[in-house]
């Protein structure tokens, strides 16, 4: 029979076969450490920012808003330092993407929001 040990402290487990921790303290400690790790995980933090940006662009478009000021977006929590890709359409035009939504710079104040209709197929 395989020896079962506490996933937190390594103590040999007794009792139920689906038991993961030796006691409540180890279970709580493990849960605390997992949440702490999740809260500081850089990939999760970056992904949360990207999704927030994407959702803001999506929500504005769903309300029929295609052009907005950068300041308006920033005041709503949009972070211009997070994006998934950039494409130079022509020397004067730059498209910045957050997943399937994007924006281009209209002038020093405004941006134009758009949805990507044809996504590349991943293989
Ligand atoms: Zn334990």
β partners of residue 109: none
* DSSP annotation of 56: H
Q: How far is the CA of 8 from the centre of ligand 1 (A)?
A: 5
Q: How far is the CA of 2 from the centre of ligand 1 (A)?
A: 17
Strands (E), 1-123: 67-69, 85-90, 93-98, 101-105, 110-115
Q: How far is the CA of 19 from the centre of ligand 1 (A)?
A: 11
**Residue holding tokens 């020093």?**
108
Crossing angle (nearest 10°) for helices 42-62 and 24-40 = 60
In angstroms, how far is the first alpha carbon of the chain from the final one?
A: 43
β partners of residue 97: 85, 102
**Residue holding tokens 């997943």?**
99
- Comparing 93 with 46, the larger pLDDT belongs to 46
As a whole number of angstroms, the distance between CA 37 and CA 44 comes to: 10
Residue 68 has pLDDT above 90, yes or no: yes
Q: How far is the CA of 61 from the centre of ligand 1 (A)?
A: 51
Q: How far is the CA of 6 from the centre of ligand 1 (A)?
A: 5
Q: How far is the CA of 10 from the centre of ligand 1 (A)?
A: 6
Q: How far is the CA of 15 from the centre of ligand 1 (A)?
A: 13
- Comparing 112 with 93, the larger pLDDT belongs to 112
Q: How far is the CA of 45 from the centre of ligand 1 (A)?
A: 30
Question: Among residues of the chain, what percentage have pLDDT more than 70?
Answer: 94
Q: How far is the CA of 42 from the centre of ligand 1 (A)?
A: 28
pLDDT digits (tens, 9 = 90+) for 5-46: 999 999 999 999 999 999 999 999 999 999 998 889 999 999
């Amino acid at each position: 029979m395989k020896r079962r040990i506490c996933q937190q402290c390594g103590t040999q487990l007794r009792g139920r076969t689906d038991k993961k921790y030796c006691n409540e303290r180890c279970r709580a400690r493990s849960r605390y450490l997992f949440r702490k790790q999740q809260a500081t995980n850089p990939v999760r933090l970056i992904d949360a920012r990207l999704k927030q940006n994407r959702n803001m662009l999506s929500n504005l478009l769903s309300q029929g808003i295609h052009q907005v000021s950068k300041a308006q977006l920033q005041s709503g929590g949009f972070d211009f330092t997070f994006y998934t890709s950039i494409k130079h359409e022509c020397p004067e035009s730059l498209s910045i993407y957050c997943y399937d939504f994007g924006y281009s710079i209209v002038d020093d104040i405004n941006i134009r929001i758009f949805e990507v209709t044809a996504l590349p197929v991943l293989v």
